[in-house]
Structure 1
Amino acid sequence: MVQPSGIHSRRAALKMLDAVLRRGETLEQAEHSALRSVRKPADRGLALAIANESLRWQTDFDAMIDSATKQRLPDDARQRMVLRMMLAQTLRLETPSHAVIATALPLLAGGPRRLAHGVFSTLIKREAALPEAPSLPGPVMERWGARAEAIAPGLVDPPPLDLTLRDASETQAMAVQLAADSLAPGHLRLARGEAIEKIAGFSEGKWWVQDLAASLPARLLGKGTHESGSKHVLDLCAAPGGKTLQLAANGWNVTALDLSKRRLGLLKENLERTGLKASPLRANALIWEPKHLYDAILLDAPCTATGTCRRHPDVLHRIGPDQIEEMVKLQRGLVERAATWLKPGGVLIYAVCSLEHEEGENQAEWINANCDLAPLAITAGELPAGLQPTAEGWLRTHPGLLADEGGLDSFFVARWQKA
């Protein structure tokens, strides 16, 4: 039997959704295996788009599906996953209905194709439509509370492309050259779509990809030079290296420590491309001991990464209390060790790309109570226009902020100084 054009993309998308929703893999982990047999870049891009949009709007797609079935399909039923994909293509990717049906029903070979076809046709006849912003899963709504309403509008679309410049003085010139917007010195924001390697300045190492929110922790350490030379900073859990590059560009003498060999490889590639200098080090921060103390430590701690939900919507469905608790313990262990590696007067930045209070605000309160560090408040003057510190002097960003300019990932950032 001749298979319809595009079936390989849909089959790969289904494999990714199955890996995320049934096995708890990240979408990034799942794509390597699922896309192995998909050769064309356009087909690979389509598979990823279907999977991402299915996850981004899953709660709303499920409500539609349930409204058109007499008996509720199990959450992990293959028919439900395929129907989510069908709706994602129709309502988000503007794929014609006949193409959606032709490429979806073969995925249910040996199964109830008639049910999927009937449910989809019923919803199309009803002219089913999505809300203005994605509805968040119930457990996520419970965890995020009042913030959820403000966050959801920032999840409608995949984010734009943010770049951090090696030389902030080139911001205006590079913005003109790339037809980009800028929300802070050294930052550019471009529309999605063009291959990274083809953007002007890539081969010359003039920039690297980094969400604006992800660039804020390193910005809060300022320049790394003083009268006698460069100050020493430890970038803890550094790979793939955006913050290391920032610190090196700002004159710091950087030790970039990470446990992952693969991710450290990416860091080294970016150092080579940009011509910036740092000292990558592969080690486990929970047992490693430094040879000297540091003027500053930037701990971008391992976390649940729920703050990246606008670019990685799988986190909305994978993360729960067990993962949060595990990360909290790891983060505290890293902070306790890092606090002992600072010189007197040294500064610690703690950051997580998480929307969970347990990993952010609660951790800052724990550090205040348990570590020999004095809070060093973040000020409005240190932040891009439109962002404000909290009353405690912390920073909390989320996808709904700066929504008119393209939004932000969510980061929690706080700062302390050693007596």
Structure 2
Amino acid sequence: MSGARSARARSNPRNHAGRHGPTDAKPGLAARQAASRLLSAVTESRASLDGLLDPAGGNPAFTNLGDQDRLLVRAILLSALRHLRVIDAFIDRLVDNPLPDGARALRQVLRVAAAQILYLDVPDRAAVDLAVTQADSDPRNRRFAGLVNALLRRMAREKDELLPAISAETPAFPDWFEDRLRKSYPADADAILKILSEPPAIDLTVKSDAAVWAERLGGLVLPTGSVRIGRPEGPVSGLAGFEDGEWWVQDAAASLPAQLFSKLDGLDIVDLCAAPGGKTAQLALAGARVTACDQSANRLERLRGNLERLGLDVETRLTRAQDLEAPDGFDGVLLDAPCSSTGTVRRHPDIPYTKTPDDIMRLARVQRDLLDHAATLVRAGGELVFSNCSLDPQEGEEMVAGFLADHPAWSIRPADPSRWPGLETAITPLGEVRTHPAMLRHEDPRLAGLDGFYAVVLTRR
């Protein structure tokens, strides 16, 4: 009897893969199988991790799992992607001969197990045993079950000795990503790359009394006015103030674009790419009459739900930004444009594996088209705030420079560095905002850094 059949014969019929899933051959096996499948989708098919893990429309291998298994799969995938090149280098160090070119499924099994052994608080024995069972239950990998067992046991024995050296000599991310980062941030690239491998803290935008909420939640107040907390053991929705709509989760850097308007109270402001609604909420909280637009009905519904919890009243429109018509215009336009999201790699470590330089070039063209249209929506004397969460100047500084060259009536209204003590270096000589993950340093790396963002205020003469 094969190992897989033996495991099934011994399994308890009450052990389930999830609320709606099939009986699990061994507790925890379905979670590892899901992690391998989703890791393959990211690294081989360039699928978005957010999409795969979406609770409503994600991959069934994930959505059919129970809550605890979902948490484990998410942790495995985030750790595996943050350290993928190191994990691969460690695996390759331990094999006598390179893995066969066609053994992609085998490598995913090894990556998932290695992420647990090297970076997660999972017993080595459990990670090895489940990886062997997973290999033995897959016809593609069954003949490699012995290799999986031997390699992972050796990894567990030698990780303390080998991991520091392998980490030091192995680039953390794909070459294209590191090369562009070093070109754009020569003085800060090493610090940025180092912090991108650390799980991020959680930033909250609060309605009022940031110091009070920082004390209540055990956090600290940032120069942006955000409250930063460590990652809680349970869901963020279980923290004090969530149900009452006293705050929302929003990276400190993401809170800056809405703060760039010189005036909001009583003005008509449109947020062109609004979902999930963090910036929309800031605008409404400041007293603006906000029109929030998004081209996705699902995302717009999520925005409405978020604003309802926060008790904020906003007009919403289901439309593409470039299709919005407003004959009377708006006092202010916020265009937080779709981008490569390379500034959020710390939160979304799949991005270096799902995006390419061609994507950056394509998205820069999309942003330029959106910016050209956004400029037509601004009333005389109004302000246009453009932003995105890309680290790449092609999507930020260079794209805006091209816009200004083609539209000589428009210019940059410089941001005032004194508004954000401690973030003065985030203001460029031209008055743009440029944050990167190595800013906001802290002795505890879990409380340091922020997303990479570009933002600028444009006005028409």
User: Does residue 108 of structure 2 align to residue 81 of structure 1?
Assistant: yes
Match of 1:72 in 2: 98
Matches within 5 A, 1:82-121: 82-109=109-136, 110=139, 111=141, 112-121=144-153
State the alpha-carbon separation in 2 of the partners of residues 76 and 246 from structure 1. 49
Give the AA of the match of 1:329.
Answer: R
1:413 and 2:455 matched: yes
Which residue pairs with 1:211 in the alignment? 251
2:414 corresponds to: 377
Q: 1:26 to 1:185 in 2, by over 3 A?
A: closer
- Once residues 393 and 85 of structure 1 are traced to their aligned partners in structure 2, the CA distance between those partners, rounded to angstroms, is 45
Instruction: For residue 23 of structure 1, report the CA deviation from its aligned partner.
Output: 1.6
Residue 25 of structure 1 aligns to a residue whose secondary structure is: coil
Q: Secondary structure at the match of 1:347?
A: strand
Between 368-377 and 245-254, the greater mean CA deviation after superposition: 368-377
Q: Compared with structure 1, are the counterparts of its residues 76 and 114 closer, same or farther at alpha carbon in structure 2 (3 Å cutoff)? A: closer
Cα distance in 1, alignment partners of residues 450 and 48 from structure 2:
21
Q: Distance in 1 between matches of 2:149 and 2:271?
A: 53
For the pair 1:126 / 2:153, whether they are aligned, the reply is no
SS in 1 for 2:394: coil
Distance, in Å, in 2 between the alignment partners of 1:293 and 1:286 is 14
What amino acid is aligned across from residue 114 of structure 1 in structure 2? G
- C-alpha separation in 2, matches of 1:238 and 1:280: 9
Report 1:130-209 matches (<5 A).
130=164, 131=167, 135-145=172-182, 146=186, 147-167=188-208, 170-184=209-223, 186-193=225-232, 194-209=234-249
TM-score of the two chains, using structure 1 as the length reference: 0.93
Q: Which residue of 1 aligns with 2:3?
A: none
Q: Secondary structure at the match of 1:99?
A: helix
| Structure 1 residue runs without a partner (length 5+) | none
On the 8 A contact 1:12/1:35 being kept in 2, the answer is: yes
Contact kept, 8 Å, 2:294 with 2:317, in 1: the verdict is: yes
Q: Is the 8 A contact 1:290 1:341 kept in 2?
A: yes
Listed one character per residue, the Cα deviations across residues 165-203 of structure 1 (whole Å, up to 9, x for unaligned) are 123xx1122222222211036421111123222111112
CA distance in 2, matches of 1:340, 1:223: 20
> C-alpha separation between the residues in 2 aligned to 1:186 and 1:386?
12
Partner deviation per Cα, 1:96-129 (whole Å, 9 max, x = no partner): 2211111112222331122222332333343331
In 1, the alpha carbon distance for the partners of 2:221 and 2:117 equals 34
Residues 4 and 102 of structure 1 are in contact (CA less than 8 Å); yes or no, is this contact kept in structure 2? no
- Out of 315, 323, 326, the residue aligned to residue 290 of structure 1 is 326
2:344 equivalent to 1:308 = yes
The reply on whether 1:400 has 2:430 as its aligned counterpart is: no
**Structure 2: gaps (5+ residues):** 1-7, 12-24
Does residue 52 in structure 1 map to residue 78 in structure 2?
Answer: yes
Task: Give the Cα separation in 2 of the matches to 1:75 and 1:335.
Answer: 45
Q: 1:13 aligns with which of 16, 30, 35?
A: 35
CA drift of 1:206 comes to: 0.9
| Residue 346 to residue 318, structure 1, CA distance change in 2 (3 Å) | same
What is the alpha-carbon distance in structure 2 between the residues aligned to residue 113 and residue 391 of structure 1? 58
Aligned residue number for residue 261 of structure 1? 297
Task: Work out the CA distance in 2 between the residues paired with 1:343 and 1:364.
Answer: 20
Shift of 1:364: 2.0
Does the 8 A contact of 1:220 with 1:382 survive in 2? no
Cα root mean square deviation, aligned: 1.9
For residue 386 of structure 1, what is the aligned residue in structure 2? 423
Q: CA deviation at 1:273?
A: 1.3
Please tell me the residue identity of whatever aligns with 1:152. Answer: L
CA contact (8 A) 1:154 1:403 kept: no
**SS state of the match for residue 52, structure 1?**
helix
SS of the residue 2:221 aligns to:
coil
Percent of matched pairs sharing the same residue: 35
For residue 27 of structure 1, what is the amino acid of its counterpart? L
**CA displacement 1:121-145 (0-9 Å, x = unmatched):** 3333433314379712211111212
Equivalent position to 1:237, from 273, 277, 280: 273
Q: What per-residue deviation string (whole Å, max 9, x for no partner) do you get for residues 145-178 of structure 1?
A: 23531211222322111110123xx112222222
The equivalent residue for 1:247 is: 283
1:270 aligned to 300, 306, 317, which one? 306
CA contact (8 A) 2:129 2:149 kept: no
Contact kept, 8 Å, 1:239 with 1:266, in 2: the verdict is yes
**Match status 1:26 vs 2:48:** yes
Q: Cα distance, 1:222 vs. partner?
A: 4.6
Higher Rg? 2
- CA offsets 1:311-347 (integer angstroms, 9 cap, x no match): 1100021110222122111101100011111122211
Match of 1:358, SS state, is helix
In 2, the alpha carbon distance for the partners of 1:393 and 1:184 equals 18
> Which residue identity does 1:68 align to in structure 2?
L
